[in-house]
Structure 1
Amino acid sequence: MSLNKVGLSGLIDQYDALFCDVWGVLHNGVAGHKTAIAALREAKAMGKAVVLVTNAPRPSREIAAEITNLGVTADIYDAIVTSGDATRDLIRPFEGQTLYRLGPDSDSALFDGIDVHFGSLEEAKAIMCTDLEYGRTPEDYVDDAIDWRERGLPFICANPDKVVEVGDELIYCGGALADVYEQAGGEVRLAGKPYAPIYQRATRLAAEKLGTDPAPKRTLAIGDSVRTDATGAAQMGYDFLFISGSIHAQEFGDVENPDPEMITNLVKQSAANTVGFAPRLYW
């Protein structure tokens, strides 16, 4: 049976907590999605714990400021947890040591309060990747990845996403480079979606609102990525609502009226208990 298109109002009574993706669900990097923002506002007003769970490689305080400018204001959610927040726990064992860094200077807040240094590959004890260097694709790093592997350097990736939607364009993220390194035989370390540490943080934040940890079956994960959001939901035992009009949109035909069977066939690969889909989240 194919999945059905559904709004959040048709599901909300089954859940105490919503773990909602940000980029691709609430905004596209250029503007906020008004129906999605309105849907979370309704859920929060009903007393549901609304936690934004994003693979952004920066601390949550920076993401809060960034998304406010896109219309995703603090009144629609209770807390934010980022891959950057969870990744800090992977960086701390390297305090006092040197890392080889990949990614823009704008991600520097990830390292606040952690005593690590950045230097050459010859000095480094690990590769620290927030995202790809400007203008490079994952394929550009194939030879680099072999060199890193031969040096025995673990690869810490603060953003497990492979691509992200920026307006109408898809841009490569750190997870795409992590795949290249893993294929080269290197060791990859991640804490964001679909891995447990980021969801464990989200659960603790939801409990601050609810007074107790939400049960997995009373938690709805909302996201646009099969690889991270759907797989993470499956691994944690959450139900999943798939947002089809983002990074996978071109795979389903008409963006506003996607083929339900094609969506079903893609999402079922994650083994998530998917309760429906929507081109954009709506109430």
Structure 2
Amino acid sequence: MSPALISADACLTQVEVARWRNGELSSAVDQVAEEVPIALIYNGISHVVMLATPSDLADFALGFSLSEGVLHDKSDLYGVDVVLQSQGVELQMDVATACFMQLKERRRNLTGRTGCGLCGAESLDQALRLPAQTINLSASKILVKSIELAFKTMQSHQPLQQATGATHACAWVSTLGEIQLVREDVGRHNAMDKLIGALAKSPVQPDGFVLTSSRASVEMVQKVANAGISILAAISAPTGLAIRLADTYGVTLIGFLRDNQFVIYTHKHRIQF
């Protein structure tokens, strides 16, 4: 059976499979997560095409634009149209003229140059996309029991993962350990961008932390640091560069989060034992 035609809301596709289990072969139907080319277009100019799960696309448009420095504030985005095409989805954004001119200049400077190969950046400094200032080191403390509670309840907030086993999730968690916002995607970076976009539009309290089902790569630390988020807790491991970046820019980085255990790599003063 061929996968169904993708629509903007189609995050799942049913496929017929042959399953080998306990020495027997049988026919079954599986649900698989969709991965769709999504073009981000600013004032009529295509900037980048990402492969992502076609859900929460308005959040993705805003979050990507903020975390990548295309926009400086949510008010710089005047509107976004989600346009379904035969081969994917276009996110057509109307943005502030000043932001658009900066984006055009960035693209002009890249033309004909050999970049570092990371996200189209032309230099190592640009690739790191560091925040203008460090995170407030006096930010509210988080109780250990709040981190443990969020871990225990995270899976119940991941319907796509439960259905397919193929998606990551990023969640905004209150200081009490309550999961308030969750965004899922086949890509961990996309899930983080969707969450950042949702947070920018949400009235949730600014105190809290981000919990991710993925490893803590440097890009994940970059995105929370640029969003002014002080704590990132990851279920998997961090990288060395992610730890150094988190330490320099004031992000409390937690990895290997499991039942009743985790590792704090930087700025442990924010965790209350």
- TM (norm. structure 2) is 0.30
More helix by share: 1
Say which one has the larger Rg.
2
Q: Which has the higher contact order (CA 8 A, sep 6+)?
A: 1
